Structure 1
Amino acid sequence: MTLPDQTLEQQVPAADLDAAAGLAASGELAVSPEAVAEAAAVTNEVAALARLYGEPLLKLPNDLYIPPDALEIFLDAFEGPLDLLLYLIRKQNFNILDIPMAQLTLQYLKYVDQIRLSNLELAAEYLLMAAMLIEIKSRMLLPQRQTELDAEMDDPRAELVRRLLEYEQIKLAAYDLNAVPQVGRDFIRTQIFIEQSLVTSWPDVTPVDLQQAWLDVMKRAKLVQHHKISREELSVREHMTGILRRLQSSRFVEFADLFDIAGGVPVVVVNFVALLELAKETLVEITQAEPFAPIYVRLAYSPA
C-alpha cells in the first residue's frame, strides 16, 4: 500500500471533468474518449487515499483493522541504562564529572515510565539503574556531619561517572571497529581458478643447497644425545673403618688429609659423612688450637 502522489503538475476538479465529459458526449466539445478516461484516472489518483496492489483506494474499507503497535515509532534505540544516561548527558551538555543528579534523574524516570507501559521485561534493568540514581540523589541531599566534613568524603557519583566513562570508551572503540572493512559486508573475496601445467617442474639443487641441508641434519643429530649415569655404591661404614685405621697410625691428622681428592666428589662426600658419624659416636675428636688455625682429627681419648 503506497501513499498517493500529491506533486502532479496540474489537477483538474471532478466537476469540470464531468462537465467536459458531458460536452464531449453531446458533440459540443471535441474531446476524445481517451483524453476523458485519462483525466478521470488522474482524478481518481488525486482522490485516492492509498494504493492496494497497484489500484487506487478511494475510501477506507469498513473491516480495516490497524494494530495499536503498528504506529509506534522509536526514534532512539538504547543498548541499556548506561547508553540512555550517556545520551541524556551529551544531549543536555552536562559535565560528566559534575552531573546534576536532579535533572538527570527526572529525565531518566520519564523515559523509564514510557518503556514500562510497553515492555516490562526490558524495563527491569532500567528500573535498577533508576534506583541507583535515586540513591545517589538522596545521599547528596542528606546533610553531612562535622566528622564527615573533616575527613574528605568520596563523591557518591564517582562510581557512576567511572562506569559512564568506561562505557563511552568501549562504545567509541566499537564504532571504530565497525568502521573497519569486513569480509562479506564491505567487500567480497574473489576466487580465480588457475589451470596448472600438467608437466611437473622440479627446482634445481646446487651443491651449496646440499651442503646446507647436510649441516642442518648434523646439527639436529647433535641435539639428540644420550647421557648415561652409572650408579656407584659407596659404603659409609667402610670409610669409617678406613679413617679409624689411619688415625691409629698417627696421633693427629689434619682435616684436609683425610679426604681422597682423586676419588671424585662422591667419594669425598661419603668420606665426610663417615667422619661426621665417627664424631657423633664420640670415636674421634675434631680440635682447633685457635681461630683460623688448622683443624686436626684424632682418636677419642678413652681412660684405661
Structure 2
Amino acid sequence: MAPSRRGAPLAEPELAADADAAAIRVDPERAFRVSIGNFEGPFDLLLSLIGSHEMDITEVSLSLVTNEFIAHIRGLDGPEDLDEASSFLVVAATLLDLKLVGLLPQGELVDAEDVALLEARDLLFARLLQYRAFKQAASWFQERLAAESGRAFRDVPLEERFRAQVPELVWTTSPADLAAIALLALAPREIPTVGLDHLHAPLVSIREQAAVVVARLRSGAPVTFRELVADAGMTGVVIARFLAVLELYRVAAIEFDQPEALGELTLTWTAESWTDDALASLGAGYDS
C-alpha cells in the first residue's frame, strides 16, 4: 500500500486510534476488504486513514469501493448484513461529500460560496467522528446486553419483617360522611351567568343636571366649571353638566370666559328671563 500525500489539516479527528471500535461487528474473515489502485485492506482501515489525513480522499475511487462492497454484500446473508449495508451507505455518503469539497480549487477564494464549501469540509470530518462515536456506543450497548442476558430477577413476596413496617389502614370515614360527599358530587350545579352591568354605566339625565347648573348660575355670581362639577360622583355626571352648559350657551342663557387654551372656564348667567318651560326643553334631544 502506498498512501498518497497528506491532506490539509482541516480538523483534528482521531479515527485511527479507535478504528476497531468503529468497525462493523462481523466476523473478521467476512469483513469487507477494499482493493483499489492505491490501497488494499479492510474498509475500516481506509476510513481511519482518511480521517487521520494519511490518505487524500480525492485519490480514492469511491465507485470502485462501492462496486466491491456490492459484490461483497451479495455473498452474505443474515440480519447483521443489513446493519453492515446501512453503515456502509452512511460512511460512503460522507466520503462522497468529502471528495466533492476536496476537489474544489485551493487557490485564492473568490466568493462566499467557495468559503462556505471549504468550511463544510470540517463539518464532514465531524460527521465521521460522530459515526465513530455512535458505532462505539452501539458496540458498548451490545456488549452490556450480552453480558446481562443471563441474569434473572428475584421474584419473592415481601418479607414479614418489612411487611410489619406498613401502618395499619384505619377507616375514618363514616356512612354519613360518604352520603355528604355523594350529595355534594351529585347535586346539580348552578349554571354560571355572565353579568353585563359592568359594561354599561348608568344613564345620567341631561335635564336633571341642567337644573342643577341653572340653579347654581342664576345666583348671579360667576362660577368656574371646576366648581360646578366639584360634587360630581362619576364621569357621566361631569359629561352631562358640560352638555347642559353647551345647551345654555346655545340659547344665550350664559356666557363663558376662558383666558387661555385649556385654561379655567368661568361661567356667568346672562338670561334676563327664564321659565320652567325653557328648562324642561333643555337637553330634550339627549334624554329621548
Same fold (TM over 0.5): no
> Over alpha carbons, which structure has the higher Rg?
1
Length-normalised TM-score, structure 2 = 0.40
More relative contact order, 1 or 2 (CA 8 Å, 6+ apart): 2
Length-normalised TM-score, structure 1 = 0.39
